[in-house]
Amino acid sequence: MTASIVYKGQLRCECTHLQSGTVIETDAPTDNRGKGERFSPTDTVCVALATCIITTMGIKAQDMNIELANTIISVKKHMLSDPRRIGRIDVTLNFPAGLQIDEKDKIILERVGDNCPVMKSLHPDLQTNVEYAWG
């Protein structure tokens, strides 16, 4: 098992990662009867995509002796209503200005990011836009 989740009531869940004991909480968003005080479940899907992209790129970058630390990633979720679901996720990776890598290495890293496990797990109807802003 990966996690243990307790529904706390009032549309909030407490999720415990069993290996580390780390806890995150989720709330329903304010536009769906929630408090919006925590990430919503659909927010966590978007965050999972963004962190998976940079994590898999980071693994490959280590093998290439490239350091991607201090990359800043922004994520925007676009919801659809009928049925309520995520329609599009926009992810922008802003790499540090001082990062100097050649075009071939950029292409390799972008391909790794585009094929991360979360990306491959998303439904094909979900539109994803990933922008790689190098320096």
* Dist CA 28 CA 3 (whole Å): 19
CATH number for the region 40-133 comes to: 3.30.300.20
- Give the per-residue pLDDT at 116: 98
- 14: Cβ contacts below 8 Å, ≥ 6 apart: 5, 6, 8, 23, 24, 25
- Classify residue 135 by its DSSP letter: -
pLDDT band at residue 118 under the 50/70/90 scheme: very high
- Sheet containing strand 12-17, edge to edge, reads 3-9, 12-17, 23-27
The tens digit of pLDDT for each residue in 42-69 reads 999 999 999 999 999 999 999 999 999 9
- Name the average pLDDT for the chain: 97
Domain limits of the chain? 1-39, 40-133
Mean pLDDT of 83-87: 96
- 49: Cβ contacts below 8 Å, ≥ 6 apart: 75, 89, 91, 116, 118, 119, 122, 128
Quickly count helices (H) and strands (E) in the chain.
3, 6
pTM: 0.95
**Burial (CB count within 10 angstroms: exposed 0-12, middle 13-18, buried 19+), residue 131:** exposed
